[in-house]
Structure 1
């Protein structure tokens, strides 16, 4: 599975969140790594992660994103809370 084009959305508190929509069928599956994970597009340079995505997603549509302050998303402004992380997912 190749990395998709980077897209952006903006959270309620104004942070730009980078994400990629992977083609496939059905409703999109959200693939969320742990907070602190780096640029989602770079993950595909790791053959083990690319192979895992190919196997687990098996042709399903998927969304992978960068948490605020990580990768291509907007900056992290402390203090960070679970509420802020929830906004990243909306």
Structure 2
């Protein structure tokens, strides 16, 4: 996957996830966004303009109601999979 495609996919997945009420209240999404905001991957994401969106999404999170709903499709898990594949060393 080309890095530009990975960034586009990450943006699309996070946008879709943040459109879900359950995701805005879930610890999975909160943990991922906080990690992206504070990691070295965050610096690389800033270079492609995604860091500002991450900060915006952090502000849109609702009060956390659950740590993990164990959804069949988890937006943060999918983003993490892409990050680990395209940004070696992401954790």
TM over 0.5: no
The structure where helix makes up a greater share of residues is 2
Q: TM-score, normalised by structure 2?
A: 0.29
Q: TM-score, normalised by structure 1?
A: 0.29
